[in-house]
A and B are shown apart, each in its own frame.
Chain A
């Protein structure tokens, strides 16, 4: 894991992967989500009713497993095998929208019995109710963009007067 990628990496550093290269990773993730029970509606209700904690174990073991391998890759300064670039392990930042947003997402999570990723996997399994949830997520995402676009439309014009001329 340490030595193998190194000589190769030197040759292909900075290589950009075509987006389609991520399709098989998505398929693998979908397969694992399904096997983990993350596409089974009853496990979502069971999680929040505290009657069946399958998905709590999935999230806990998932985060723990990821943490172990990320710690190893950080320590070994592992380069990404397919690009040769060093891996950016920077986490997502805290924003003032994070707390209300996470609560809103959580309420939707319970109502829909699905997440953005698992609901796409459910559709692939043939679960047609996923279509409603997918449609809702697209609409909700779109609405966020509309609201942000409207507020940002005002903000830059106020800031422009302070900005040096381009």
Chain B
């Protein structure tokens, strides 16, 4: 994945902001992803996620299903061939266990915290930190700041202990 085309951060950010604006302008919807996981849980039989905003229409689920398509297109337009990989770059592999399954356990634990935290906070990085901050919505600005605090705590701890 070293040859994946990556724009300068500010340019990528402008792209992200334009997609947020485009979604509002065309569909009237605020961009967010984590609620799609709630819709999946509702479809899989979770009583809680069969109610309210998660009951449908499940536009968030279809938005989320588009994401991997975009990822595949991004690879194919980078001039590299698409191939499955366990590659995680250079930094995380230096502190995570080499075993695929133990490493996977750490990533799954991180995912579980993301899932719980996103529902408690009412959104994730896309809904709070990008869309919410673009709305200048105070609770979202707070949430975005606290996401960073949590991330700094876990990564500094991980790299402090194991590198």
Chain A interface (Cβ within 8 Å of chain B)?
1, 16-42, 44-49, 53-70, 73, 78, 80-83, 85-89, 91-95, 97-129, 131-146, 148-149, 152
Interchain Cβ contacts under 8 Å between A and B, 22 examples? A22-B66, A32-B12, A44-B151, A44-B155, A62-B12, A65-B18, A83-B28, A91-B140, A93-B122, A106-B147, A106-B149, A110-B155, A114-B114, A115-B126, A117-B125, A125-B82, A137-B112, A138-B111, A140-B112, A144-B115, A144-B119, A152-B48
Give the one of A82, A132, A135 with max B CB within 10 A: A132
State in angstroms the CA–CA spacing of A145 and B40 once bound together: 12
State in angstroms the CA–CA spacing of A114 and B68 once bound together: 14
Given known contacts A27-B69, A29-B70, A117-B64, A145 and B26 CB-to-CB distance under 8 angstroms: no
Chain B interface (Cβ within 8 Å of chain A)?
1, 4-31, 33-34, 36-38, 40-41, 44, 46-49, 56-75, 77, 82-92, 103-140, 142-144, 146-156, 158-159
State in angstroms the CA–CA spacing of A128 and B126 once bound together: 22
* Contact yes or no, A112 B111, CB < 8 A: yes
State in angstroms the CA–CA spacing of A127 and B110 once bound together: 16
Cross-interface CB contact of B89 among A42, A124, A140, cutoff 8 Å: A42
Give the one of A16, A18, A33 with max B CB within 10 A: A33
* Contact yes or no, A149 B12, CB < 8 A: no
State in angstroms the CA–CA spacing of A94 and B128 once bound together: 11
> Residue of B at shortest CB range from A62?
B16
Contacts of A111 in B (CB 8 A): 106-107, 109-110, 113, 154-155, 158
State in angstroms the CA–CA spacing of A136 and B117 once bound together: 12
Contacts of A29 in B (CB 8 A): 16, 19, 31, 63, 66-67, 70, 126
Shortest Cβ distance from residue A40 to the other chain B in the assembled complex, whole angstroms = 6
State in angstroms the CA–CA spacing of A14 and B47 once bound together: 30
Contacts of A103 in B (CB 8 A): 117, 146, 149-150
Shortest Cβ distance from residue A65 to the other chain B in the assembled complex, whole angstroms = 3
The A interface is mostly helix, strand or loop, or mixed, namely: helix
> Residue of A at shortest CB range from B125?
A115
* Contact yes or no, A143 B67, CB < 8 A: no
> Residue of A at shortest CB range from B159?
A49
> Residue of A at shortest CB range from B37?
A141
State in angstroms the CA–CA spacing of A63 and B20 once bound together: 9
* Contact yes or no, A112 B88, CB < 8 A: no
Contacts of B38 in A (CB 8 A): 141, 145
* Contact yes or no, B92 A45, CB < 8 A: yes
Contacts of A85 in B (CB 8 A): 28
State in angstroms the CA–CA spacing of A18 and B138 once bound together: 32
Contacts of B71 in A (CB 8 A): 30-31, 33-34, 39, 120-125
Cross-interface CB contact of B146 among A102, A134, A137, cutoff 8 Å: A102
Give the one of A98, A118, A128 with max B CB within 10 A: A98
* Contact yes or no, B21 A102, CB < 8 A: no
